[in-house]
Amino acid sequence: MKKQTLYLLALSIGLSTVATSHADEVNLPDILARIKPGIVAIGTYMPTRNPRAVFLGTGFAVADGRKVVTNAHVTAKKLDLEHLERYAVFYRHQQKEQMQIADLAATDEDHDLALLTVDGGALPALEIGDSLRVREGEQYAFTGYPIGMVLGLYPVTHRSIIAAISPNAIPAIATRQLNVNMLKRLQTPFDVFQLDATAYPGNSGSPLYDTNSGKVIGIINKVFVQGSKENAISNPSGITYAIPAEHIKTLLNQTIVK
């Protein structure tokens, strides 16, 4: 009798795991269809340049849909204002490529975040979730523009688990590995999400979101974290990291207060 009970319990747990996995697979296409219109390519536009549009990274609409979040290093390029170069967001709507001019509204260099405002109509905004509740082993997805607009304005999605939650900077083994940025980050460390999926150049700024709700719990970062966490490595490992979304909330709140 006891063996039968244990068997039924094990079977129940197994079926529950399969059901949860299947639910994720079913929900993701619906979630993706809902949030993808709010995920944009970030770049610059210059009317006298060929090509007029240059890709820099990925971003996504938040708040009222007229604000777009990306990485600060994506917007670090100095604009050629003399030749009317402006930031811009690019996306596909009703099978047509669209562009909106954008302005840099705020940056958070400590967490490598930037906030743009668009001049045109509101985009479908993504909801920011609670990144403090994220646990290692949970599965999420991220969507963005790997290798830029080479593949066209067709955002690509990857699924990933949270492989680790660890500080963005760790003490250097030798003093020669220290630099000003490392020292600063060691003084004010914060946790980042390490993922088991590979993000590519162009994915910086992509939203990392819950596959059941679509709520954003992080933002993909391909440069900032590697520059500190992997400072001792001569060649970057290729590991993908994400900045927790709690820092996006802080940036938005500070901008609203101003």
Eight-state DSSP code of residue 7 = H
- pLDDT tier at 226, thresholds 50, 70, 90: low
Q: Which residue has the higher pLDDT, 147 or 195?
A: 195
Supply 87's token pair.
């930031």
For residue 240, how many other CB atoms are within 10 A of its CB? 25
CATH 2.40.10.10 positions along the chain are: 28-118, 131-257
Write the pLDDT tens digit of every residue in 63-74: 999 999 999 999
Write down the mean pLDDT value for the chain: 84
Eight-state DSSP code of residue 126 = P
Output the pLDDT for position 239.
Answer: 85
Distance (Å, whole) CA 243 – CA 47: 34
**Whether pLDDT at 131 is above 70:** yes
Distance (Å, whole) CA 22 – CA 14: 12
Output the pLDDT for position 179.
Answer: 54
Output the pLDDT for position 176.
Answer: 53
Output the pLDDT for position 181.
Answer: 57
Write the pLDDT tens digit of every residue in 13-51: 454 444 444 455 669 999 999 999 999 999 999 999 999
Mean pLDDT of 85-103: 94
Which residue is it, tokens 């917007």?
Answer: 75
Q: Percent of the chain beyond pLDDT 70? A: 76
Q: Which of 54-63, 86-95, 184-193, 246-255 has the lowest mean pLDDT?
A: 184-193
Q: Are 100 and 84 in contact (CB under 8 A)?
A: no
3-state secondary structure of 118: strand
Strand partners, 40: 59
CATH 3.30.300.30 fits 131-257, yes or no: no
Q: Are 188 and 156 in contact (CB under 8 A)?
A: no
For the domain covering 28-118, report its CATH number: 2.40.10.10
- pLDDT tier at 172, thresholds 50, 70, 90: low
Q: Which residue has the higher pLDDT, 1 or 190?
A: 190
Output the pLDDT for position 115.
Answer: 98
